[in-house]
């Protein structure tokens, strides 16, 4: 467990730095209020986790240890974007024919995360207004 945790932590650090570098690179070439860096990160992270999960899965072409899979999929991809995990889990549900769960995950995650983000924003505004009284 400790060994896996250390590899995941290292992968998370790598993924986070990769996300930062990509955001900086995109920002140099695209000036837009639209969050292109985030969209590109989510798309590339989803591609990477799908590619690696399939490549190293039970029927894949590359044998990888569970720790190696955790390093890449939980660590690097998780540090890079958690959207990749959401995408892989949704794809697996679809591949298993669990369509109700697919749509629950898509709609539930999207709506819930947007609502949670708004609640966090509103909480800070509420705390800020309380401090001013």
Question: 25-64, pLDDT tens digit by residue?
Answer: 999 999 988 889 989 999 999 999 999 999 998 888 899 9
Residues 37 and 100 sit within 8 Å (Cβ to Cβ) = no
Amino acid 32: pLDDT: 86
Q: How far apart are CA 17 and CA 11, in angstroms?
A: 10
Amino acid 116: pLDDT: 87
Kindly report the average pLDDT of the chain as a whole number: 92
The upper half-sphere exposure of residue 107, i.e. CA atoms within 13 Å in the direction of its Cβ, equals 6
Q: How many CB atoms lie within 10 A of CB 42?
A: 18
Tally DSSP H helices, then E strands, for the chain.
6, 0
Q: How far apart are CA 83 and CA 94, in angstroms?
A: 16
* Residue 84 predicted with pLDDT over 90: no
Q: How far apart are CA 110 and CA 113, in angstroms?
A: 5
The pLDDT-based confidence of 127 (bands split at 50, 70, 90) is confident
Q: How far apart are CA 31 and CA 76, in angstroms?
A: 27
What are the structural domain ranges in the chain? 2-97, 100-133
């Amino acid at each position: 467990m400790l060994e896996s945790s250390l590899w995941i932590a290292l992968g998370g650090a790598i993924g986070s730095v990769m996300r930062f570098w990509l955001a900086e690179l995109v920002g140099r070439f695209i000036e837009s209020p639209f969050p292109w860096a985030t969209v590109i990160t989510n798309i590339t992270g989803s591609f990477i986790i799908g590619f690696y999960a399939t490549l190293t899965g039970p029927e894949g072409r590359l044998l990888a240890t569970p720790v190696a899979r955790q390093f890449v999929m939980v660590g690097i991809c998780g540090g890079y974007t958690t959207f990749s995990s959401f995408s892989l889990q949704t794809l697996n549900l679809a591949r298993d024919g669990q369509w109700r769960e697919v749509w629950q995950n898509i709609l539930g995650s999207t709506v819930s995360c947007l609502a949670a983000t708004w609640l966090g924003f509103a909480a800070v505004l509420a705390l800020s207004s309380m401090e001013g009284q």
